[in-house]
RNA sequence: GCUCCCUUCGUCUAGCGGUCAGGACGCGGCCCUCUCAAGGCUGAAACGCGGGUUCGAUUCCCGCAGGGAGCGCCA
């Protein structure tokens, strides 16, 4: 059997992190089996669906690199089809028109709850022959009232439900819009979806879907219900847990590969392995090995993974990604060294591309002022000779290159009879405006000779103005 | 309330009847060191509770407790 999976978001907001994980697992399953991955936009909720959401979902998926083979399809483009299927069900008697008003249904539910029953439609329109004047009816499924349905779930195993606990689900609204339940089933069947991989929150919807499938006489797909992702505090993931919109991760300098790697390990493991390339994910992913318990989103571990990816990423690629990030954030990258050099120097101390941009800012831009505390500590009268001698040696250097710079600085330390640390730190403060940077020779090389000398001159002035205390 | 699901270090997880219960993140210590990192070594840290089954349960079964999801003309 040729595997076909789908991701079916509803465009009522941005693409969130839980959705990405669902999409990832569907995508992995399809890719692993050499199957097809379909994207379908479930936009039957006209009130809440927006064009902007569709765009956000699409760019989110693109950024993260989960490419679909078919779609995006839109349910709103398939009206006629749902109507035709519903009509057929009506004529075959597997569905019926229901004229109950919302108020009536509300009252029914309230009563049932007070009686301690599972609130559900009691089927009072099942045998109705005559339409009710002035009421445009909904269409309901005539579902079995006895027996059980069992969902054969790839991650949960068999889960059974009593049909008596389920009610006659609404298929079509009065305006001819299918409900979610009807839309998914018809679409999954029409599109030949073999495996439905979706969030845990749909598990209790599944028996209804199976009833619809049985009424339609279409094959029941294989189901796999994924556990939810919770916030760090165990509550449902929401904005107060930090970023939930995928694009926020892009904007904060996360690498899509790292995000996916983090997500794939939420609820799934392959022995002790933590880092998976896309290829490895595809090869090793096994839906049956997915955990059934919900997991919490841990930003610390995502950070660690992102750092690992930055650390080990191929130079050219990282430079490209960093460049794209700088552009996205409107950061200046010229004049200055090549991004390849920058990335080599800063990758070891950046958790995100944002960190990297921040840490290397002085390479491309002139700072307003040196950090006060740093200047006070490192640019004092005693450092005047260090700065002066360094400038002298730098001016004389035939090439502006780290080995030569390093040698020159060792010469300065030796000439003044002080340790390398007494040379490096004042220079660092002078040239970067702060106390943290890559090794001083590398830093100076990147900043460039002209800028270095200019900044040293300025720092020298500052140091000379300090009171003579050492 | 009803139905369904879940339960190993703080977190993500390995485990699939006999293990010193392993790894990773985070946290502590040490080493390396011109700053910050990265890296190396190392330490603390878990089987929710109660019954069974079994020679033996983290592992199988049943309760309980705790968490979660669903019960819409939302998806």
Catalytic sites of A, residue numbers: 239
Identify any residues that bridge with A95 across adjacent strands, giving them in sequence order: A141
- Contacts of residue A49, defined as CB under 8 A and 6 or more positions apart, other chains included, come to A10, A11, A12, A43, A76
Q: ipTM for the complex? A: 0.95
Write the Ramachandran bin of A223: left for phi over 0, alpha for psi from -120 to 50, otherwise beta: beta
CA–CA separation, A81 vs A94, rounded Å? 17
User: Please, are residues A230 and A236 in contact by the beta-carbon 8 Å criterion?
Assistant: yes
Give the SS3 label for residue A4: strand
Write the Ramachandran bin of A116: left for phi over 0, alpha for psi from -120 to 50, otherwise beta: left
CA–CA separation, A149 vs A170, rounded Å? 18
Q: Per-residue confidence of chain A (470 residues) as pLDDT tens digits?
A: 799 999 999 999 999 999 999 999 999 999 999 999 999 999 988 888 999 999 999 999 999 999 999 979 999 999 999 999 999 999 999 999 999 988 889 888 888 888 877 788 988 888 887 888 888 999 999 999 999 999 999 999 999 999 999 999 999 999 999 999 999 999 999 999 999 999 999 999 999 999 999 999 999 999 999 999 998 887 888 777 777 899 999 999 999 999 999 999 999 999 999 999 999 999 999 999 999 999 999 999 999 999 999 999 999 999 999 999 999 999 999 889 999 999 999 999 999 999 999 999 999 999 988 888 888 888 888 899 999 999 999 999 999 999 999 999 999 999 999 999 999 999 999 999 999 999 999 999 999 999 999 999 999 988 888 765 44
The DSSP-derived string for A353-385 is HHHHHHHTHHHHS--SS--HHHHHHHSSGGGHH
Virtual torsion, Cα A250, A196, A199, A298, nearest 10 deg: -40
CA–CA separation, A349 vs A447, rounded Å? 17
CA–CA separation, A320 vs A438, rounded Å? 21
Report the DSSP pairing between strands A138-141 and A195-199.
unpaired
CA–CA separation, A136 vs A241, rounded Å? 44
CA–CA separation, A204 vs A202, rounded Å? 6
CA–CA separation, A92 vs A103, rounded Å? 29
Other residues' Cβ atoms within 10 Å of the Cβ of residue A242: 16
| Burial of A417 per CB tally in 10 Å (0-12, 13-18, 19+) | exposed
pTM of the model: 0.94
Q: What is the dihedral sign for C-alpha A79, A80, A85, A90?
A: positive
Nucleotide nearest to A234 (CA to C1'): B67
The CA-to-CA distance between both ends of chain A, in Å, stands at 80
Write the Ramachandran bin of A365: left for phi over 0, alpha for psi from -120 to 50, otherwise beta: beta
CA–C1' gap, A50 and B3, in angstroms: 34
CA–C1' gap, A463 and B53, in angstroms: 81
Nucleotide nearest to A207 (CA to C1'): B4
> Which residue has the least CA–C1' distance to nucleotide B12?
A266
User: Please, are residues A383 and A470 in contact by the beta-carbon 8 Å criterion?
Assistant: no
Q: Chain B: nucleotides under 7 Å from a protein CB?
A: 1-8, 10-15, 22-26, 34-39, 67-75
User: Please, are residues A13 and A57 in contact by the beta-carbon 8 Å criterion?
Assistant: no
User: Please, are residues A71 and A104 in contact by the beta-carbon 8 Å criterion?
Assistant: no
Identify any residues that bridge with A139 across adjacent strands, giving them in sequence order: A97, A172
> Which residue has the least CA–C1' distance to nucleotide B74?
A45
CA–CA separation, A166 vs A360, rounded Å? 61
User: Please, are residues A295 and A229 in contact by the beta-carbon 8 Å criterion?
Assistant: yes
User: Please, are residues A144 and A211 in contact by the beta-carbon 8 Å criterion?
Assistant: yes
Virtual torsion, Cα A21, A23, A25, A26, nearest 10 deg: 160
CA–C1' gap, A421 and B35, in angstroms: 9
- Contacts of residue A132, defined as CB under 8 A and 6 or more positions apart, other chains included, come to A99
Candidates A215, A220, A83, A211; CA nearest to A139 is: A83
* CA A222 from centre of chain: 26
Run of H or E residues at A163 = none
Other residues' Cβ atoms within 10 Å of the Cβ of residue A256: 20
CA–CA separation, A123 vs A115, rounded Å? 18
Candidates A248, A234, A236; CA nearest to A302 is: A248
Nucleotide nearest to A135 (CA to C1'): B73
Other residues' Cβ atoms within 10 Å of the Cβ of residue A450: 10
Q: What is the DSSP letter of A200?
A: G
Nucleotide nearest to A179 (CA to C1'): B73
CA–C1' gap, A424 and B56, in angstroms: 65
């Amino acid at each position: 059997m040729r595997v076909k999976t789908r991701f079916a978001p509803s465009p009522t907001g941005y693409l969130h992190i839980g959705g990405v994980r669902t999409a990832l697992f569907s995508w992995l399953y399809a890719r692993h089996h050499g199957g097809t991955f379909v994207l379908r936009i479930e936009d039957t909720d006209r009130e809440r669906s927006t064009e902007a959401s569709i765009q956000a979902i699409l760019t989110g998926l693109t950024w993260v690199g989960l490419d679909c083979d078919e779609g995006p399809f839109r349910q709103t483009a398939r009206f006629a089809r749902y109507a035709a299927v519903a009509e057929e069900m009506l004529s075959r008697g597997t569905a019926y028109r229901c004229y109950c008003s919302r108020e009536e249904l509300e009252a029914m539910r309230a009563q049932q709850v007070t009686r301690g029953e599972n609130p559900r439609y009691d089927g009072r329109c099942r045998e109705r022959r005559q339409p009710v004047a002035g009421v445009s009816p909904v269409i309901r499924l005539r579902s079995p009232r006895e027996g059980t349905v069992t969902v054969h779930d790839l991650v949960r195993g068999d889960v059974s439900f009593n049909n008596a606990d389920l009610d006659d689900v609404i298929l079509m609204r009065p305006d001819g819009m299918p409900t979610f339940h009807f839309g998914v089933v018809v679409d999954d069947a029409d599109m030949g979806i073999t495996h439905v991989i979706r969030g845990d929150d749909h598990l209790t919807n599944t028996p209804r879907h199976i009833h619809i499938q049985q009424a339609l006489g279409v094959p029941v797909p294989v189901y796999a219900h994924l556990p939810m992702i919770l916030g760090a505090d165990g509550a449902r993931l929401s904005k107060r847990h930090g970023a939930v919109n995928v694009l926020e991760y892009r904007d904060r300098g996360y690498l899509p590969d790292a995000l996916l790697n983090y997500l794939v390990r939420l609820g799934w493991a392959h022995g002790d392995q933590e880092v998976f390339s896309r290829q490895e994910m595809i090869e090793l992913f096994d839906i049956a090995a997915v955990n059934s318990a919900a997991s919490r989103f841990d930003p610390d571990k995502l950070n660690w993974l992102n750092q690992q990816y930055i650390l080990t990423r191929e130079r050219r690629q990282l430079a490209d990604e960093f460049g794209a990030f700088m552009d996205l954030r409107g950061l200046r990258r010229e004049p200055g060294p090549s991004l390849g050099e920058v990335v080599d120097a800063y990758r070891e101390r950046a958790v995100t591309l944002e960190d990297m941009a921040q840490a290397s800012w002085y390479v491309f831009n002139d700072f307003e002022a040196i950090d006060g505390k740093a200047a006070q500590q490192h640019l004092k009268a005693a450092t005047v000779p260090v700065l002066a001698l360094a400038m002298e040696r730098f001016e004389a250097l035939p090439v502006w290159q780290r080995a030569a710079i390093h040698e020159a600085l060792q010469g300065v330390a030796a000439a003044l009879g002080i340790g390398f640390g007494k040379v490096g730190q004042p220079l660092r403060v002078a040239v970067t405006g702060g106390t943290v940077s890559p090794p001083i020779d590398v830093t100076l090389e990147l900043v460039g000779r002209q800028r270095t000398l200019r900044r040293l001159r300025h720092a020298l002035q500052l140091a000379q103005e300090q009171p003579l205390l050492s």
